[in-house]
Structure formats: C-alpha cells, structure tokens
Structure 1
Amino acid sequence: MTVKKILLLTGDYAEDYETMVPFQALTMVGHRVDAVCPGKRAGEKVKTAIHDFEGDQTYTEKRGHDFVLNASFDAIDPVSYDALCIAGGRAPEYLRLDSKVIALVRYFAEANKPIAAVCHGPQLLTAADVVRGKRIAAYSACAPEVTMAGGVYAEIAVDAAVTDGNFVTAPTWLAHPQWLTQFLAVLGTKIAL
C-alpha cells in the first residue's frame, strides 16, 4: 500500500466522532493524517461536540472531548497532501468565513484530489463554490446550501454515503463505515483481510 498524506480540517466544536474516528481509522490503515485548525498550532486542542439523534426534530448536542492537533494550520503546504478530510459539526460554520480555509478547499478541488466531508463539512465545499453539478450528501439542514451552490443534494439514508468524482460525502457520523470505505477506494487504498 502506498502511504497517503491526508489533511484533516477540524475546529472548535467539530463533531467528536467526525474528528476522532477518521483520524484514528485513516491512521490505522497506515496513512499519515495531519489534523489542523486555523489559528491553532500542533499540540493545541480543539473542543469537540457530540451530536446525537434521540428522536427530536434535530440532533442534540453535548460537550465532547479535547482533541489534540498534530500539525499547525499556518505551516502546512497543501501541495504536499494527497487528500483532504473535513469534519462536520459546528466548526464548518465559522471555518467557512476564513479566506485561507476557502482557498485551501478550492486548491484540493481544482487539483482533483480526494475530498471527504461529512455532516456539516460540505458547508466548506459550498462556501468554496466547488460543488456545481456534483452530487453531495450532507446533514439535511445543509441541503439548501448544496442546492444554492449548484450541487445536487443527495437525499440518502443517514448511514449511507455518496461518491461523485473526487468528492466523498455523507450526512452523519452514522455513515462512517460507508464513507470511509468509499474514501479509501478513491484514495486507492486496498486492505487485505
């Protein structure tokens, strides 16, 4: 297997599972994953939130864990990365206001490098204006943003995922098995059992 260098973009109150699980799973299969947050350096932490589906009209939110970043946003060179992974939760809402984040997302899209985004992560894709004509899954509350940005909102089960070219997207962390499998396929990663 060829080791891929993956950039994981997260931030304060990113969804806990959507930060920790991809970081651990992609590392476990042998890839190098650098987790970054704008304005923070390696060794600093982001606070996460746990979103759950408990029968209410929307998800509930609870305080998650502290997640330690292992790379500094200002020190990264996107050219050196093979793929981008975007955590969901509330972080994308404020991260999409950062012009450096938008430029980073555009770089990966224009370079046709694999991009995975789950839950609210596609908010960064829509803000970067890179989803036109693409089938994109996201948390249902983000559907209008996908459509207004020219994407085709993929109305799929919360535990499903969709791949369209270099984009792998999913509506919630319940889809981790699906989107991680699809992302590994786009990366060209084969796992022998």
Structure 2
Amino acid sequence: MAKKILFIVGDYVEDYEIMVPFQALAAVGHTVSAVCPNKKAGEFIRTAVHDFEGDQTYSEKPGHNFTLNGSFDAIKVEEFDALVIPGGRAPEYLRLNEKVLQMVRHFAKTNKPIAAICHGAQLLAAADVLSGKSCSAYPACAPEVTKAGGTYASIEVTEATVDGNLVTAPAWPAHPQWIAKFLGVLGTKITH
C-alpha cells in the first residue's frame, strides 16, 4: 500500500540526499511531499553537493534548485505515514524552528517511520527524540547524537542502521542500504 511521506528540507540541503530518495520513493509508488519553512509549493530551495575528496571534511559545490511540492504552513503531519530528513546545511538552521521540531516529535511519538541521513541527526537531536536510540550520522554530528541521549552508530559511509522506526546513515554513499532499509520499515514490498 502506498504511503504519504513528508520531507522537511531547506536551502542548502545536500543535493543527492533530497533528489535521490525523493525520486526513488516516488518511483516505487509512494506520495512524497517536500516542504520548507516560509516557502510554498512551486517555490524552490537551493541544494549543495557534498563530496568526499580526501580532505579533513567534505567539500561543498553548488547543486540544483529543487522545486517544493508542498506548502509548509498547510502541512498536517497527522496525514503523513513517514518522515525523511535529508542532510546538508539545512538541518543546522531548521532545528531553530519550533514548528519543525514539533513535526519531528509527532513522527517519533506516534512511532511512524523516520529516515534521517548525514546532518539530519541535528534535527532529531534538537527535537529531543534520540534518547535510547541508536543513530548514525555524519561523524561530526556524533557529539550531538550522544548529548541527546542516543548511541552514535559508527558505521561505514556506505552502510545504514535501523533502530525500531528510525533508519539512519552517515551520508549519501549509503543510499542503496538507507533507502532499502527505509522501504523495509515502511512495509514496501518490491518483487522481481
């Protein structure tokens, strides 16, 4: 059965971490809605491409403009079955928005599936929904996961982890595992 999946995003979200799961989840028949505070359907956000090129941290390059298909102020989280939180720089400032935090708390309290990748853990930590949970993220976010009462899952950049309704991964190279595990938590069956 198709699910309604909410993406909470903002300017300078990581390009691959919004584009790939948004398109993949839609391709398998789910209804996906991407919203951003202070923006409406039809408006766009800018993305950034984070790459791993041997430096001490990721590099950043301009990405694409991503057109939102939902209006933030009109969203009723109760109507959604699951939440996706992409990484990039957006979670850094989205966590300052109380309505965003309330939305994240709704999915955690109702035990609906949540998929977060990379810096998406910053929103989970700020919403105070990581206590007792195992959570992966970009390694620089490990202190935030542990300070929020979670256990940081130190896994390879190509891996993902599941703890109940929570599916997390360090960065976009984990997409095959992260998306597959999220589909499993959603109950999506793909037959060959």
**Equivalent position of 1:170 in the other structure:** 169
Structure 1: tracts of 5 or more residues without a match: none
**Equivalent position of 1:115 in the other structure:** 114
Identity of aligned pairs, percent? 67
Q: What SS class does the counterpart of residue 188 from structure 2 fall into?
A: coil
The Cα of 1:9 is off from its aligned counterpart by: 1.1
Q: Which residue type is aligned with residue 128 of structure 2?
A: D
Q: Which residue type is aligned with residue 28 of structure 2?
A: V
The Cα of 1:139 is off from its aligned counterpart by: 0.1
Q: Which residue type is aligned with residue 67 of structure 1?
A: F
Q: What SS class does the counterpart of residue 12 from structure 1 fall into?
A: coil
The Cα of 1:60 is off from its aligned counterpart by: 0.1
Q: What SS class does the counterpart of residue 120 from structure 1 fall into?
A: helix
Cα distance in 1 between the residues matched to 2:130 and 2:185: 17
Q: Which residue type is aligned with residue 70 of structure 2?
A: A
**Equivalent position of 2:76 in the other structure:** 77
Cα distance in 2 between the residues matched to 1:94 and 1:50: 18
TM-score (ref. length: structure 2): 0.99
**Equivalent position of 1:36 in the other structure:** 35
Cα distance in 1 between the residues matched to 2:158 and 2:88: 16
Cα distance in 2 between the residues matched to 1:32 and 1:122: 23
Cα distance in 1 between the residues matched to 2:98 and 2:8: 14
Cα distance in 2 between the residues matched to 1:161 and 1:170: 4
Cα distance in 2 between the residues matched to 1:73 and 1:186: 25
**Equivalent position of 2:46 in the other structure:** 47
Query: How many residues are aligned here?
Result: 192
The Cα of 1:77 is off from its aligned counterpart by: 0.4
**Equivalent position of 1:139 in the other structure:** 138
Cα distance in 1 between the residues matched to 2:23 and 2:41: 17
Structure 2: tracts of 5 or more residues without a match: none
TM-score (ref. length: structure 1): 0.99
Q: What SS class does the counterpart of residue 3 from structure 1 fall into?
A: coil
